[in-house]
Amino acid sequence: MMDLSQAKICLVGLGYVGLPLAVEFGKKFNTTGLDINESRIKELNSGFDSTLEVEKELLASSDKLSFTSNINDAKACNVFIITVPTPIDEFKTPDLSPLYGASKAVGSVLSKGDIVIYESTVYPGATEEECIPLLEAQSGLKYNVDFFAGYSPERINPGDKEHRVTNILKVTSGSTPEAAQFVNELYLSVIEAGTHLASSIKVAEAAKVIENTQRDVNIALVNELSLIFEKLGIDTLEVLEAAGTKWNFLPFRPGLVGGHCIGVDPYYLTHKAQAVGYHPEVILSGRRINDQMGSHVSETVVKSMMKKRIHVVDSNVLIMGLTFKENCPDIRNTRVVDVIEELENYHVNVDVYDPWADAGEVKHEYDIDLVSTLENGKYDAIILTVAHDQIKAMGAEQIRKLGKETSVLFDVKYILDKESVDGRL
């Protein structure tokens, strides 16, 4: 196993996970940031990060970091860290194609003694069952003889300026005891919060996938509670705040569950569980509840409009917020689109406003044209779907002015007081 001082690192995938890590490693090691998106490389070389995860000054502070879209520029590297996305397909099954592509690319430049570390979220066993054979086939090298592997799951929270890559404790693992020690020491060199060395790659993979599965199930519980309390005529937030006075009550809130992790990772675990003959009950039922919340929001708003005798067909509805979470430009797997699609089934004219989302990316990904200016008195209904600071700052009075006199104002995120809205989850 190589000495840590000899490490020359290549970060494969420069998104929300890879770039912050590349910047930190680039302060201490010769580091190459690799991404197949050439426009991404251009913007990073110009000193700008469109994900807004890394400030310009921080990007400039990594004097040993360079960016490229050509894997051949990484031939001199001996540590490869793969941080590509692991989404699900239309059938809610794992889509490992980005991981396959990255593994084949790394395999083409792999040399004896190198180590490949995966950070992408996968099901337990995927690294050694799916990725390692690709590295062997492309390189002609033998696993744990000529090259080694590690797994250190990402824990990036997009948009969070308090919990950043260096102050979030990192789980590490390796394919041999020596590889595990090297991986652990490598991350300890940049992670101030420290590390937890897992006993195997499978344990580290499983630890990551259950982090978000646990959160998903907890949110599903409060979403189901909100559906029950709505029928009982009880305000959900008031119930949760009352219950929250007990020290060990968990402070989850109902809502739309999207993003690249919580709405995706449980399907990786359930896929593997079913492959080994176990049908998960709790996890999948939680997913079903969370996946139908967008439709529930739309149906509730439409019913409220009908109660006010607002003609639904050809009405104008404003959606305020599209990204998967507040104060973040990340639109991956946003479930706000479920609200929009359901409203369009009622032949409603939907405008979408989001001060954080990139209009071109939204158009490309969802074929939605964002509105950049808001017109007073236009809307029959307004739905607050993301708690961006800009939306919060508008306040109830300014938001109400956007609607007609009899409009419906529905608050998904508890942005406004109960008395200021016509309904909320």
- Residues noted as catalytic: 261
Q: Sheet containing 148-151: which strands, arranged edge to edge?
A: 65-68, 30-34, 8-12, 79-82, 115-118, 148-151
Residue whose pair of structure tokens reads 């004896």 in the numeric block: 112
- The DSSP element (H or E) to which 380 belongs, if any, is strand 379-384
Tally the C-alpha atoms within 13 A of residue 166's C-alpha that lie toward its C-beta: 13
Structure tokens at 208: 């990551």
> Within its chain, how far is the Cα of 378 from the centroid?
33
**Burial (0-12, 13-18, 19+ Cβ within 10 Å), 144:** middle
C-alpha–C-alpha distance, residues 425 and 420, integer Å: 14
Structure tokens at 235: 């305000």
Confirm if 256 and 385 have CB atoms less than 8 A apart: yes
Q: Give the largest CA-CA distance in the chain.
A: 73
**Sign of torsion, CA 157 163 165 169?**
negative
Task: Give the Cβ contact number of residue 212 at 10 Å.
Answer: 21
List Cα–Cα distances, 387 to 25, 319, 323, 326, 413, in angstroms: 33, 12, 10, 5, 6
CB neighbour list of residue 119: distance below 8 Å, 6 or more residues apart? 17, 18, 21, 81, 82, 83, 151, 152, 153, 154
Tally the C-alpha atoms within 13 A of residue 63's C-alpha that lie toward its C-beta: 0
